[in-house]
Structure 1
Amino acid sequence: MHATTKQTYGERAAQHPNACAKRMLELMETKKSNLSLALDVTTKKELLEIADKVGPYICLLKTHIDIVDDFDQDLIEQLLALSKKHNFMIFEDRKFADIGNTVKHQYGNGIYRIASWSDITNAHGVPGEGIITGLKEVGLPLGRGLLLLAEMSSKGALTYGEYSSKTIEMARRNQDFVMGFITQRRINELPNEDFIAMSPGVGLDVTGDGLGQQYRTPHQVIVESECDMIIVGRGIYGKGRDVEAEARRYQEAGWVAYEERIRQ
């Protein structure tokens, strides 16, 4: 077990070298939440309504802003207002995967201007280290953080072995901007290393969705795999679900698992 798994989020925040990670850990400690909601809906109205309902229970809202049919700048302004109202951070799950010069413009410009409002974004390691360099030019001066995709939760994913190893090496060379990983397990292996591990594919009621998604429980993710954050989607806002009640249920389950881990 790596030393950081026994420390509280607050203890880790106090000594974290990455500004965005530090803010994230402080927020998790303050709100007693390690829950991120993956909000993949296609209308502005639904996105804002659900974000408002889950806001008190989450530390991070994960968006796919390019699937919103009626996207406009007002959506961003309202989303930022909700993040302040409920004290959560925003993670645009863009999964950048191009050369450095291209991603720099995709991140800072275009109709979405992601860097202007999203605290965190992410990228694949496939293009090599230039992708981090390009994103860093835009994001670091704004205090943003980057997650790298080390492992994915979908069946048959190719993100393993040498790909994962090379991705981790790139992260180690860019710890001022790379704050952690989207991963299925804790990746910290070196002394004084503290990458935040966020794990998708978390569910309390099902084990798969028929489209290749595989689900694990908060206990499996936080205690057994020693990850820091659970990312939950349809388990909270799926058809017929009480969004607020489900968000509270996952927030409590994630926090109970975290408390068990730091007691071990």
Structure 2
Amino acid sequence: MINTFKTYADRAQQHPNACARDLLMLMERKKSNLSIAVDVTSKAELLSIANQAGPYICLLKTHIDIVDDFDADLVDQLETLAKQHDFMIFEDRKFADIGNTVKRQYGNGVYKIASWAHITNAHTVPGEGIIDGLKEVGLPLGRGLILLSEMSTKGALTKGDYTVESVAMARRHQDFVFGFIAQHQMNETPDEDFLVLTPGVGLDVKGDGMGQQYHTPHDAIVSRGCDVIIVGRGIYGHPDQIQTQAQRYRDAGWDAYLERCKLHQ
């Protein structure tokens, strides 16, 4: 993999993808490369966590279809919090169907994801048509797509040829696809700048007993060359310490980024 290093600010100035530019500028402005993954089932809890963690994150990652009492007001309040605390919303939908179907899942239905989520993601199992379908809806709205090229769970099949083909698809759609869910840097040529968002980041645990494997912010940012750390239960799993834990992970992620900058000076 190519190891040409640039700061978030430098990349924001040069990136060909509008959504990626917005995210990189936000990360630099806010001094945060932390995404919180909020996998909770109630509107009140989701909004409470978003409000408490909001000042420390660059991305709020949601699973909107697990919220039992979802309504349009939830979306309105999430958008308000995103503006108030200066973060973007990433709906972790993991689309995995043919292009014509995902186009409707993304733009229509109960959730109307494209209308409020700045970023979403997709598996590449169905082939390149899934990107075409999502792009038809998301690109005119200035949205961005990331592909799942590697996952952090033990025994995941997202490796080898699957990863290689996913990167090739992304390379052909850089106006819409700007990065990957992955465990290491994916760029292969000096002019590529795919962002890597890394799940399975934790400071206190190594696994959850259900296949999830954790590594530290330093491992993700410095050793593996990733860009955004995704933390879930490490933050909201401490309901009385959400702000403290969010700040802790924000600081750990940003310190790792600053170390990476020094290593490449």
Task: Return the offset for 1:215.
Answer: 0.3
The aligned counterpart of 1:190 is 189
Aligned length: 263
> CA separation in 1, counterparts of 2:201 and 2:213?
8
Q: Which amino acid aligns with 1:125?
A: T
Cα deviation, 1:4-40, whole Å, max 9, x if unaligned, reads 4x31101000000000000000000000000000000
Match of 1:126 in 2: 125
Task: Spell out the pairing of 1:54-203 with structure 2 (5 A cutoff).
Answer: 54-203=53-202
1:216 aligns with 2:219: no
CA-CA distance at 1:191 after TM superposition: 1.7
Secondary structure in 2 aligned to 1:112?
coil
Of all paired residues, the percent bearing the same amino acid is: 68
1:259 match: 258
Question: What's the counterpart of residue 44 of structure 1?
Answer: 43
Q: Distance in 1 between matches of 2:26 and 2:2?
A: 22
Q: CA deviation at 1:184?
A: 0.4
Q: Which ranges in structure 1 are unaligned for 5 or more consecutive residues?
A: none
Offset, 1:2: 3.4
Matches within 5 A, 1:1-12: 2-4=2-4, 6-12=5-11
SS at match of 1:91: strand
User: 1: distance between equivalents of 2:75 and 2:20?
Assistant: 22
Question: What's the counterpart of residue 16 of structure 2?
Answer: 17
**SS at the partner of 2:75?**
helix
In the aligned structure 1, how far is the partner of 2:228 from the partner of 2:184? 11
State the Cα RMSD in Å.
0.9
TM-score (norm 1): 0.98
Letter in 2 for 1:219: H
Partner Cα separation in structure 2 for residue 24 and residue 188 of structure 1: 18
In 1: Cα distance, 2:113 partner to 2:167 partner? 24
Q: Secondary structure at the match of 1:253?
A: helix
The 1:2/1:263 distance shift into structure 2, 3 A limit, reads farther
Please list every run of 5 or more consecutive structure 2 residues that lacks an aligned counterpart in the other structure: none
Is 1:226 aligned to residue 236 of structure 2?
no
2:166 aligns to what SS in structure 1? Answer: helix
1:237 and 2:233 matched: no
Partner of 1:32: 31
Distance between the aligned counterparts of 2:35 and 2:7, measured in 1?
18
TM-score for the superposition, normalised by structure 2: 0.98
Aligned partner letter, 2:158: T
Q: Which amino acid aligns with 2:2?
A: H
Alpha-carbon distance in 1 for matches of 2:64, 2:77: 13
